[in-house]
Amino acid sequence: MALLDVSGLTTGYQKIQVLHGVSLRIEPGEFVAVIGHNGAGKTTLVHSVMGVVAPRAGAVRYDGQDVAGAAPSANVQRGMALVPQERAVFPNLSVGDNLEVAGMAMRGARVFEQRLEEVRRLFPILKERSRQQAGTMSGGQQRMLSIGIALMLAPRLLMLDEPSLGLAPVLVQQMMERIVEINRSRGTAILLIEQNVRAALQHCSRVYVMKVGRMVYDGPPGPLHDKSTLMKYF
């Protein structure tokens, strides 16, 4: 059974239709990337899966359950987490307090400390800057904190919307390495939304290409490393 199975998803905003019968499938522990130009519908796709945007037609099934139109809070409880493009932190709280707030739903101090230690191992800067006000950190550091907040929820499916956006190339590589580690060491399924095609293709096991609200490619990343092949889908 697929962890996430999206079939014929159609949705949009008011009179504007953005997704046109989109289908996508992610197996447990799989690392899947969705690439495409800005405006292709990638963000709308993950917002629809998470419940931020209600589908107009089609099906969204998570772990065998119909979750189309379910509230984001309910999907978090089911094991989904979404790290949006925006820096999803509490800017006026310290780094440590941000992570503590994220772990408030957990039962037991031992579980909290275990997850906190995992996050700090992945992102040592969050331990070093534990007392720093989150809003004063760099963009890349806030992005790491956003992912750390999501990981405190121990998701089975982690959706990342443009995690490399605005980062220097060396930070992009570091970020992608951490995402790969999350996937491999924790068995967390990853749905990566990216405009940085090279970074996405380098690390994912399977890739979708979106164009004007439709999926135009679903397969291994290998063929898309050839620029002439890639351009057929862009």
User: What stretch of H or E contains 60?
Assistant: strand 57-62
pLDDT of residue 170 exceeding 90, the answer is no
CB neighbours of 225 closer than 8 A, spacing ≥ 6? 201
Q: DSSP code of 185?
A: H
pLDDT at 80 over 70: yes
**The pLDDT of residue 105 is above 80:** no
d(CA 186, CA 154): 9
Which tens digit of pLDDT belongs to each residue from 183-194?
Answer: 999 899 999 999
Domain boundaries along the sequence of the chain: 1-79+195-234
Confidence (pLDDT) at 110:
78
Q: What is the mean pLDDT of the chain?
A: 94
Of 87, 90, 101, the C-alpha closest to 142 is 87
| Residue tagged 């992102």 (tokens) | 123
CATH number of 1-79+195-234: 3.40.50.300
CA 115 to chain centre: 19
Which of the residue ranges 105-119, 157-171, 172-186, 187-201 would you say has the lowest mean pLDDT?
Answer: 105-119
Q: Is residue 88 predicted with pLDDT exceeding 90? A: no
Encoded amino acid at 164, one letter: S
Please, where are the H alpha helices in the chain? 42-50, 72-78, 95-102, 109-122, 124-128, 139-151, 169-186, 197-203, 227-231
Q: Is the pLDDT of residue 108 over 80?
A: no
Specify the 3-state DSSP secondary structure of 155: coil
Strands 65-66 and 57-62: antiparallel
